[in-house]
Amino acid sequence: MKRVKEGRAIIHVPEESLTRKSETFYNPGMEYQRNITIASLRVLQPKRILDPLAASGVRGIRILKEVEGVEKVVFNDVNPKAVKLIKKNLKANRIDKSRYEVYQKEANTLFIEKGKFGFVDVDPFGSPAKFLENAGYSLGKDSIIGITATDTGALSGKFPDACLRRYGVKVGRTDFPKELGVRVLITATILNLAKHKMTFKPLYSHANHYFRVMGRVSYGHEDNLKKIRMISYCPECHAKSLGVMKACRNCGGRVSTIGPLWAGEIQDRVFCGKLLAKFDFRNNKEIVMCSQEIDEPFYYDLHKLAKSTKKSSPKIDVLIKKLNDKGFEASRTHLCLTGLKTNASVKEILKT
């Protein structure tokens, strides 16, 4: 066993678990998204937490040790070795037994059996698609859900058949693959929770070697379904339009159709600002950018735009200022270092 410290938690994990060779996998590369979870729960303050795919138990243990006001965390994993490890790590961290429960069940069964929670985290190895519908049974009124997906090739457009099969969304290659993946994941979450007459409002989205979304769940009318749209995308000039177009409005070329896809906001800037006040992210630029990013859907990758037009790529901050001076909204995006978000058209971007 290897002893690992993450946040305030001390976790024992098998040596091989750090190389994905173990059934009880611990991924140190996911620490940032667990930090986001801790900060989010400090802001939102849920009482009851469900970690249905807990593996080593690191997330739930950190929640118990780092978030005030949490009354109970329910840990679960279908793997008996993981359950044994969770119990070992809870004991090692001296967590009072009244503050947790540990189960060995299939997650979809647990969602139905264990009542309502203020926060549910769905963090499987691979696709979360098979858990999204039943997760709704475990979500209480005004609750939060966090969802992680590591099938990035399917979500980002590299494997469109897999995406259509798992998530019901038609995708393809674009210049905004990380935002595409995030929006597919949000779309699938909204549609599955709508079956429970629930709405989902994204609060934070992240893309790295995985995709992660967190959002607020409430009961009521499915108004956000109106923001799920078909998207027309031109692979030649990278122009994007809501709705189905016969030809590109910019260059007249043939467009590809993507969707149905969430076209609303993918983060709440005010919420992201609150995260900065609740956790020391060590000047992490991504969360700062997220708090400043405009809500316009679909970024332009300036390097790819420059390549397609055979022009040199402009300095992004200079371009943003020029667009702002012209009266357009423009900002960087936390999803792509060379990405630009703006309500200006491709023609306007190229003219600036």
Confidence check: pLDDT of 12 > 80:
yes
Alpha carbon distance 74, 52 (integer Å): 8
CA-to-CA separations, 306 to 68, 201, 302, 336, in angstroms, rounded: 49, 34, 6, 15
pLDDT, tens digit (0-9, with 9 covering 90-100), for 157-168: 999 999 999 999
Tokens of 22: 């173990």
With a pLDDT cut of 90, the percent of the chain lying above it is: 87
**pLDDT at position 312:** 86
What are the sequence ranges of the domains in the chain?
Answer: 2-229
In this prediction, residue 282 has a pLDDT band, given cuts at 50, 70 and 90, of confident
Alpha carbon distance 126, 133 (integer Å): 16
177 Cβ neighbours under 8 A, 6+ residues apart: 156, 157, 158
- Winning range, highest mean pLDDT, from 11-20, 189-198, 276-285: 189-198
In this prediction, residue 19 has a pLDDT band, given cuts at 50, 70 and 90, of low
**pLDDT at position 251:** 92
Torsion angle defined by CA atoms of residues 236, 299, 319 and 338, in that order, rounded to the nearest 10 degrees: -90
Confidence check: pLDDT of 16 > 70:
no
In this prediction, residue 18 has a pLDDT band, given cuts at 50, 70 and 90, of low
Mean pLDDT over each residue of the chain, to the nearest integer: 94
Provide the b/e sequence for 131-143 (b: ≥16 CB within 10 Å): bbbbbbbbbbeeb
Residue that wins the pLDDT comparison between 222 and 280: 280
82-107: average pLDDT? 97
Confidence check: pLDDT of 83 > 70:
yes
With a pLDDT cut of 70, the percent of the chain lying above it is: 97
Q: What are phi and psi of 178, to 5 degrees?
A: -70, -40
240-264: average pLDDT? 95
**pLDDT at position 40:** 97
* Domain 2-229, second-level architecture: 3-Layer(aba) Sandwich (3.40)
Confidence check: pLDDT of 27 > 90:
no
